[in-house]
Structure 1
Amino acid sequence: MMNRTRLVNTFIELVKIDSETGHERQIADHLIELFRNLGLTVVEDDTQKETGFGAGNLFITLDGDATRKPLLLSCHMDTVTPGKGIEPIITDDIIHTDGTTILGADDKAGIATIIEAIQTIKEQNIEHGPIQIVITVGEESSLVGSSALDGKMLVNGLGYALDAGGKVGVIVNQAPTNATIEVTIKGTTAHAGIEPEKGVSAINIASRAINNMKLGRIDDETTANIGRIEGGEKTNIVADKCYILAEARSLSEEKMNAQVNHMKEAILTAAAELGGSADINVTVNYPSFKVDENSKVVQIAKQSALNIGRTPDVIPTGGGSDANFINGYGVPTVVLAVGYEKIHTVNECMPIIEMEKLTEQVIEIIKLV
């Protein structure tokens, strides 16, 4: 029923529009015009004032049978870097780049499939309920757009975010909460060759603290990582400052908080033992969510996968998405696999068959809701 050539052309058109996170104005304007030309209502919210990102979030509406449950479809318009001047190449039905940029299938493949699904149901006169499409900014920057949007603008229906890895048919019903831990360790400077005894190395404090931390895979629900550490100026100066950027995440809020407290304690203990101090700032970036596998939103996702010849696979994930906040706003939402591969790298690619299958799945969901 869908138009494969049109789908691919739409995707290629989207990925050629630069939209690195924080710079979404051009892609937002393109999408506003595109959806309005399809006869849908488009509203851009005013969150740009709050986020400082390139645009606001887009709320796109297609009216339908008001006796049916509303459907919410969501994607994000921003990409990671390097995402400027993307030139897509098709080889053996797989879309990729020349290896100098990402492709942007995360998440423009999701947007392209929604566009094709809407065009198909309009052309085929497929009956449907009210459909709301939410396309956010800043998803790649700790879900900035979805964290800032007004949850009252969302429909009271069933939600499907098109933004998970894996083959189409994978359904993510659980995702973690995440906290960023920023630490500035303070020591005492001194000449490293003449009087090192008078110095307190902030780098030594950081080293001891990290050595005493549980990191990596903590348990089957929890992970922690040191992402960045920097400090010092020259080899002959005892470093009096050191900066650490870390994270902890877990499917359990209680476990995440316990891991954060463990990391804080390791830092404060090391600082006290070696005669320094530490300023620690913890930011919870997004909440966790868990949607019951027996819920209607999951059952429809599973049936839609079966209807297109795929085996549904309901799984948790270790990554966050806009679904974390959308669930928090009260709309039960799962994340559907898009089928993209090697995302966030210059080797990112998009098998065309997966975009086709996802479009088919979205159409099936529209029929089933």
Structure 2
Amino acid sequence: MTDTVLDRLLRYVVIDTQSDPASSAQPSTEKQKDLGRLLEEELLALGLKDAHLDEHGNVYATIPANVDKPVPVICFCSHMDTAPDFTGTNVKPQIVKNYQGGDIQLTGDPSRIIRVADHPELNNQIGNDIVTTDGTTLLGADDKAGVAEIMTAAQTILADPSIKHGTIRILFTTDEEIGRGADKVDLKKLGAQFGYTLDGSTVGEIENETFSADGVVIEISGVAMHPGFAKDRMENAIKVAAAIIDRLPKDIAPETTEGRQGFVHPVEVTGAMDSAKLTFIIRDFTEDGLKDKETLLREIADAVMKDYPRSSMTFTVKQQYRNMKVVLDRHPEVVDNLMEAVRRAGLTPKASSIRGGTDGSRLSFMGLPCPNIYTGGHAYHSPLEWVSVQDMEVSVRTIIELVKVWEERA
């Protein structure tokens, strides 16, 4: 097999693997296994005899060590599902070869344009080949670029015995986009000491920190009444919910924050006169910041409820994930080795924070310290998604250099 990273990407993105947050199954959609079965076949064809797809749709495989000395077992992980935000059905990838600058108009929907003003990273892509969609679907480079890069690196490592390495585990997960990517991962079977997700963006950027995240659900029981006889009696649960949202500070919303600023974000409102439900996500890089925002939301809700004395409210907090930097700081060699690999791949490494989450967050707290490596993809979760072929090749080189660094420093 001599497939390039582009060959693999084009093969993978046309397989619809969109996950479904409304489903309680794992994987949430059976179609994710379509890609899993293909990857299992390709891994077996590369000679990885233990490659297999499990009942939850996760794919496992092992590249055996080619040295005798003990080297920590490391894992490379990417997710197979695509986001529910925009359709991933009938993807038609387009290639802009030898990009010479300027906006990119998408052929399937000419109203969709990848503008340099909105995507300044395009200024660093002159002469490169850019993969986009036709504008009617997302591309799925999140995270099939990562899958393609891991597969291509595996092919290269297996074909070149001069690349010295310890045991390498490969893991492809389902349902990352709906927050369940690590739910059914068997870390004992995986048997790795450290891991790396390939799920980042701009080349050179290493993500060693994520938001900490909680969900909050506020359920309101109002007082329903025929509107003709409602004076001084009705307490409309819809209005209670609206009052809570109206009192949220505008400076702690996603649309007004950046960098290391957290936020309180209502994501769903349902209701009728007698009852209403508000669903929030709370994000911050520190535990104290997270708790402060939850306390503020609770105080707002309690204050609103005082205006509706015959109504009642429940306020439920559910932990979602935590900042992986807490774990990674206990194992500095994981990021240090990655920094060296990035330098060897010809880039200047830059540690950055994710204003979101990744499988690496959950895996880190499950016992697999796991920072995030760039894939070269941009504008994820949208029909304007794009990825540079040359940047994908850099990601492949980074994986190869990383396994060499681990072997040398063991």
Residue equivalent to 2:391: 354
Q: Distance in 2 between matches of 1:218 and 1:208?
A: 26
Q: SS at 2:318's partner residue?
A: strand
Spell out the pairing of 1:104-123 with structure 2 (5 A cutoff).
Answer: 104-123=140-159
C-alpha displacement at 1:89, in angstroms?
A: 0.9
Please, which moves more after superposition, 88-97 or 283-292?
Answer: 283-292
C-alpha displacement at 1:61, in angstroms?
A: 0.9
Matched, 1:30 2:70: no
- Match for 1:325 among 362, 368, 389? 362
Residue equivalent to 2:268: 228
Q: Distance in 1 between matches of 2:38 and 2:82?
A: 15
Spell out the pairing of 1:309-320 with structure 2 (5 A cutoff).
Answer: 309-320=346-357
C-alpha displacement at 1:188, in angstroms?
A: 1.5
- Match for 1:152 among 167, 188, 198? 188
Q: SS at 2:181's partner residue?
A: helix
Uncovered stretches (5+) of structure 1, i.e. residues with no partner:
49-54, 233-238
Letter of the aligned partner of 1:69 in structure 2? P
Residue equivalent to 1:42: 51
Cα deviations by residue, 1:8-40 (Å, 9 ceiling, x for unpaired): 111100001111112212111111111111111
Contact between 1:173 and 1:293, CA under 8 Å: does it hold in 2? no
Q: SS at 1:140's partner residue?
A: helix
Contact between 1:45 and 1:149, CA under 8 Å: does it hold in 2? no
- Match for 1:98 among 134, 143, 147? 134
Letter of the aligned partner of 1:229 in structure 2? V
Residue equivalent to 1:300: 337
Identity of aligned residues (%): 27
Instruction: Name the one with the larger strand percent.
Output: 1
C-alpha displacement at 1:367, in angstroms?
A: 1.3
Q: Distance in 1 between matches of 2:140 and 2:188?
A: 30
C-alpha displacement at 1:244, in angstroms?
A: 1.2
Cα deviations by residue, 1:295-336 (Å, 9 ceiling, x for unpaired): 111111111111122110011222110101221122222101
C-alpha displacement at 1:345, in angstroms?
A: 0.4
Q: SS at 1:266's partner residue?
A: helix
The change in CA–CA distance for 1:260 and 1:43 in structure 2 (over 3 A counts) is farther
Q: Distance in 2 between matches of 1:89 and 1:218?
A: 32
Contact between 1:293 and 1:299, CA under 8 Å: does it hold in 2? no
Matched, 1:16 2:52: no
Q: Distance in 1 between matches of 2:10 and 2:36?
A: 16
Q: SS at 1:213's partner residue?
A: coil
Contact between 1:293 and 1:314, CA under 8 Å: does it hold in 2? no
Matched, 1:340 2:377: yes
Question: Scaled by the length of structure 2, what TM-score is found?
Answer: 0.80
Contact between 2:169 and 2:192, CA under 8 Å: does it hold in 1? no
Matched, 1:70 2:73: yes
C-alpha displacement at 1:225, in angstroms?
A: 0.7
Uncovered stretches (5+) of structure 2, i.e. residues with no partner:
20-27, 98-128
Residue equivalent to 1:139: 176
RMSD value, Cα: 2.2
Please, which moves more after superposition, 317-326 or 198-207?
Answer: 198-207
Residue equivalent to 1:173: 208
Letter of the aligned partner of 1:268 in structure 2? D
The change in CA–CA distance for 1:140 and 1:306 in structure 2 (over 3 A counts) is same
C-alpha displacement at 1:294, in angstroms?
A: 8.4
Please, which moves more after superposition, 287-296 or 338-347?
Answer: 287-296
Question: Scaled by the length of structure 1, what TM-score is found?
Answer: 0.88
Q: Distance in 2 between matches of 1:219 and 1:17?
A: 34
Letter of the aligned partner of 2:44 in structure 1? R
Q: SS at 2:182's partner residue?
A: helix
